[in-house]
Structure 1
């Protein structure tokens, strides 16, 4: 009886972890995408022709509601729709318009989309439409592949590119760069302990089924889960708890030679550059000095302006990712209005984690 109840409960929809704002954005994107496609294709093809096909509604769900899905990428929608239309039209022309032909077209379309790495669920509907949509599609023949299928798909993709990027959604979805910033063959520090990308690939290959999530997204979710579990287990040590507060710094107009003297005297590899209000302007490193070989100029001319920073109340687990996968070995800690409060280094982080482990062991 309990197994029957569990089976019945599986029909109940699981909660969707998506914010109300993203739900609204998805609806708005689908409205713009379908409206533009309808207007554009009607203008180009005219009212007497088939100018918008129903599978575009399903494409809108993917392009605007789940744009990070592998099934929603540009090649997926273009290749998937065009290939499926070719299959559907061919099956209808040579085998007729019966139900079994529609099933054959759908199966062949899926097979080709797998082979060409352009799996797009609405493609199955496109193949069926080519077989069962009736006389208007039959008269178009292979023209159906271009007008309206390819035109519809291209118009939808154009709006998806503009809309998603305007709202700072990562589309097309690109894999995150996890290469060693030092350009050596060593794995990133975070990949040397715990699960590795190879472990994840092995598990995915063993499962042998398609997951509707990009591999790098899945890896990032797992790593953030590890980080959250770490914070729960070891407590919340904050960046402000371990930072160095007596920080040497220079001004933007300080000469590079003067800054170099400070770094050599105090055995520092970098210095924060601040203004009179102690607001961070950038970071000057020995690498910057050596790379330019210009000690007569000012710090402002060679400093790095885009600097990784943190807040004093942020958990140190944030530093594990940031300091462990970049060339930076230190991070400025900022207060209100970008005022420099201190510096956290890799050494500070290691010491804090070591002390936390000793306290738990004791």
Structure 2
């Protein structure tokens, strides 16, 4: 048995290790690219010698710290526009006032940073790089005396605003969300109902209370907390559904179409079987994609806009097999969809069907289609399991 000293040593060594989970290469490149874009574009605005001398615009070290939050941790409450712009600007205003009033260097630094922290707390605009803004000003009294309170406007407020605007655009282009989601905002479908995973029967006030109780309000937003709780509940559900697997609940006798199948035949199959989705497979059984009924509507809508014709005319064109350029199933199928293996736990299918916007998950075995799990299949399986447990 290990001695208490050895256990203490192991705990101490582990405590010195990284506390942040590993980051994917894609996210690493996204964050680094964001910092390049943010500081690069901001530099184009402020590094012109004429602008530097006449308007007092220049890059300051705290902008680098702000870039870390804006591009590497865009979901953090500390990185949001209000926190970044107001926090940095408040710190600049406070530190300029201190510099113009206090001559002692040490007292000037201490008061500038501490009063800036207090001001940010009152304004609910905590932004860690703002502490560096305050120290930059406190350590550069000659610059502050020359610029006065204009220092808070340029470079601080304007420079931070530029970084925030770039972060908004960059997040949109790279598939991230910035500013972060607001609780009870419209979901992806444009309706006011929370997404299925966030219907927790907990109000915004209750979730806020949890964050405040555990002193996490600076690290996590209310909406993100709801998402995490929902994900944790689903993960816990996987423990209760095992060893139920996709193979046990999937539909095996499938109606499929080929890549070249005309959409008129696809529509006939939808009407005949009342399906909402049809898998597309190659001659050798390889899975190629899946067609949802909504894909037909989307394609007709695209044709309506691109060909400048009515919606009915666009739908008619989709199903017209007399044309040499008739639309094929493979041209409208969806390929970026969740997929499962036969041994995938049923619980792991829950978020796939709840979050991805699809109502059927293909089950693949060595790239070939083995079955399909629909929402109906999963609901029926969980209902049987629940009733069996109750009995």
Q: How far apart are the structure 1 equivalents of 2:138 and 2:36?
A: 28
How does 1:1-362 map onto structure 2 within 5 Å?
9=12, 12-13=15-16, 15=18, 16-19=20-23, 21=25, 41-44=46-49, 51-93=58-100, 95-98=101-104, 100=107, 102-114=109-121, 116-150=123-157, 152-154=159-161, 156-157=163-164, 168=174, 170=176, 172-175=178-181, 189-191=196-198, 196=202, 198=204, 199-207=206-214, 210-250=217-257, 253-254=261-262, 256=264, 259=266, 261-266=268-273, 268-272=274-278, 274=280, 277=283, 279-284=288-293, 288=297, 296-298=316-318, 300=327, 305-306=333-334, 308-313=337-342, 314-324=344-354, 328-334=358-364, 340-357=369-386
Q: How far apart are the structure 2 equivalents of 1:265 and 1:72?
A: 53
* Contact 2:270–2:276 (8 Å) recurs in 1: yes
Q: How far apart are the structure 2 equivalents of 1:137 and 1:56?
A: 18
Q: How far apart are the structure 1 equivalents of 2:354 and 2:276?
A: 17
* Contact 1:255–1:296 (8 Å) recurs in 2: no
Give the aligned length: 352
Partner secondary structure for residue 225 of structure 1: helix
Q: CA deviation at 1:103?
A: 4.5
**CA spacing shift, 1:135–1:271, aligned 2, 3 Å:** closer
Q: How far apart are the structure 2 equivalents of 1:323 and 1:171?
A: 22
Q: How far apart are the structure 2 equivalents of 1:42 and 1:239?
A: 58
Q: CA deviation at 1:323?
A: 2.7
Partner secondary structure for residue 136 of structure 2: helix
**CA spacing shift, 1:62–1:195, aligned 2, 3 Å:** same
Q: How far apart are the structure 1 equivalents of 2:29 and 2:347?
A: 32
RMSD over aligned Cα atoms: 4.7
Q: CA deviation at 1:84?
A: 1.8
Q: How far apart are the structure 2 equivalents of 1:181 and 1:62?
A: 26
Q: CA deviation at 1:253?
A: 5.0
Partner secondary structure for residue 344 of structure 1: strand
* Contact 1:67–1:173 (8 Å) recurs in 2: yes
* Structure 1 length-normalised TM: 0.71
**CA spacing shift, 1:285–1:323, aligned 2, 3 Å:** same
The residue number in structure 1 matching 2:324 is: none
Q: CA deviation at 1:212?
A: 1.4
Q: How far apart are the structure 1 equivalents of 2:208 and 2:138?
A: 39
* Contact 1:243–1:348 (8 Å) recurs in 2: yes
Q: CA deviation at 1:113?
A: 3.2
Q: Is there any run of 5+ residues in structure 1 with no aligned partner, and where?
A: none
Q: CA deviation at 1:92?
A: 3.1
**CA spacing shift, 1:42–1:284, aligned 2, 3 Å:** closer
